[in-house]
């Protein structure tokens, strides 16, 4: 009998197309050597062209899934993704408060296709309840603007954005600058805890098949934390994994295809 690998839990929405959400999270965890477990917060009907419908699960169903996993199996890191309403944000924040494992909070606000995935009324709950529970928060530039009002156009703006996010209580902020137009050839992220600052730079791949990038990055960070890495180590390794997955992203359907979670094996 072999011992179980490190245990990692995703709390997120389901993506029927398999490129983002719970499906991306579990594929990422498998690829990075941890046992992935899941709490489904919503079912989406989506494909390469966009989101056709979202059906949120009741808070009691979310809490029951979480407790079932954590109370019996245990967990070494948790990742949160799509939490579309204030009640779900508050429910998950309360569950995290009761869990000793590190938490990676991906404050999912908008899909790759521009579909809003977070009710405006939930933003306040994200700021006040969820971000204070985060070991690492991983907003993209749109989500930074939604949460803090800081509009990022330069690397200096990314510093201001990080300060604004850290003001809501996470231990670390990872500001994802992938949408930063000024860096045509480079994807720049900033990781900071307010004292230590790390700029993560990677070549920008000319590949539009990037569905699931944010989910994948947050899950890769959680996988690293579950394996005992420090936050800077986990984020650096996750960035390398995601950069490879984006480079290998493939066409699927008629729109935006997914990153390739299995790129290291192909």
Task: Compute the chain's Rg from CA coordinates.
Answer: 17
Helix (H) or strand (E) holding 89: helix 86-97
Whether the Cβ atoms of residue 246 and residue 217 lie closer than 8 Å to each other = no
Per-residue H/E/C for 148-194 = HCCCCCCHHHHHHHHHHHHCCCCCEEEEECCCCCCCCCEEEEEEECC
Active site residue ranges = 176, 210, 212-215
CA–CA dist 228, 208 (Å, integer): 33
CA–CA dist 257, 110 (Å, integer): 17
Q: Two tokens at 137?
A: 């928060």
């Amino acid at each position: 009998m072999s011992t179980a690998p490190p245990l990692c839990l995703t709390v997120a929405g389901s993506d029927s197309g398999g490129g983002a959400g719970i499906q991306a999270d579990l594929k990422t965890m498998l690829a990075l050597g941890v046992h992935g477990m899941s709490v489904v917060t919503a079912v989406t009907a989506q494909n390469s062209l966009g989101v056709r419908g979202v059906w949120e699960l009741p808070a009691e169903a979310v809490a029951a899934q979480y407790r079932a996993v954590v109370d019996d199996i245990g967990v070494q890191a948790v990742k949160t993704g799509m939490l579309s309403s204030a009640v779900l944000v508050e429910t998950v924040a309360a569950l995290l408060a009761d869990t000793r494992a590190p938490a990676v909070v991906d404050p999912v606000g908008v899909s790759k296709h521009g579909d809003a995935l977070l009710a405006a009324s939930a933003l306040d709950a994200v700021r006040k309840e969820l971000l204070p529970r985060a070991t690492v928060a991983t907003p993209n530039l749109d989500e930074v603007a939604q949460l803090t009002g800081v509009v990022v156009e330069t690397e200096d703006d990314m510093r201001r954005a990080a300060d604004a996010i850290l003001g809501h209580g996470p231990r670390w902020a990872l500001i994802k600058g992938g949408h930063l137009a000024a860096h045509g050839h480079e994807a720049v992220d900033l990781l900071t805890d307010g004292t230590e600052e790390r700029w993560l730079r990677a070549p920008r791949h000319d590949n539009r098949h990037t569905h699931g990038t944010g989910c994948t990055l947050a899950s890769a960070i959680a996988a690293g934390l579950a394996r005992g890495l420090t936050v800077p180590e986990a984020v650096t390794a996750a960035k390398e994994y995601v950069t490879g997955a984006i480079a290998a992203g493939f066409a699927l359907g008629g729109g935006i295809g997914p990153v390739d979670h299995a790129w290291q094996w192909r």
